[in-house]
Amino acid sequence: MRTKFKFWAVEYLKNNLKNQFVIDSFNEEEFNKFISSKPTFLEIGPGKGKFIIEIAKKFPNYNFLVVELNQTIAGMCLKAIDDNELTNVKLVGDNFYKLIPLLKDNKFDGLFLNFSDPWPKKRHEKRRLTSDQFLDAYKQIIKLNHFIYYKTDNLDFFNYSLEQFQKHNFEIVYQNNDYQEDEEFDAMTEFEERYRGQGIKINRLVLKINEKTLKTGGNEE
């Protein structure tokens, strides 16, 4: 379900810059300091921020960066970060691909993909966060022998993503089609809380980037 436009959230995003890295006025020095001071994990599509806030509280010795293109959702997530007075979470309210060249030699210690939009129509495949283009990008920005953490309620999207990860030679270190939130390095999202209450099963993958992964291109068969 698409989030409706909320004026207050968009205005909040524009006017509260403390916990943001703004692409159009990018502060390279502050960004490098943030990403290099602690192990730093990326989440693409944070929703209203429940997951990232909970995991940031659990792991204060890690930093977390969230990227959200939708300005309404980004504003809602940013307000939640600010309200919780977290110092180890920052937000980029822009297109993920704009962030990549700004990383330069920096890489993340891991990536979270939680309940991403499945974009079920074939013509929208490139928008899926596990399509070839995205997976090739992740190989550029995640450290070797580090992990992608993936959760979804959508079995069709899970099966598609699993095939994609296998195609790109990601190493599957964990797979569960009835995940019960029993991993320490995890937290519940807004969607997950709702789905569990409805008895909907959660699908979970943890994937490792190894040397073989890096040698595999998205167009290879």
Is the pTM here over 0.85, yes or no?
A: yes
Provide the residue-wise pLDDT of the chain in tens; the chain has 221 residues: 567 899 999 999 999 999 999 999 999 999 999 999 999 999 999 999 999 999 999 999 999 999 999 999 999 999 999 999 999 999 999 999 999 999 999 999 999 999 999 999 999 999 999 999 999 999 999 999 999 999 999 999 999 999 999 999 999 999 999 999 889 999 999 889 889 889 999 999 999 999 999 998 766 54
182 is catalytic: no
- Residue 4, judged by CB atoms within 10 A of its CB (0-12, 13-18, 19+), counts as exposed
Question: What CA–CA distance (Å, rounded) separates 96 from 92?
Answer: 8
Q: Considering 82, 117, 132, 136, which one is annotated as catalytic?
A: 117
Expressed in percent and rounded to 5, the helix, strand and coil fractions of the chain are: 40, 20, 40
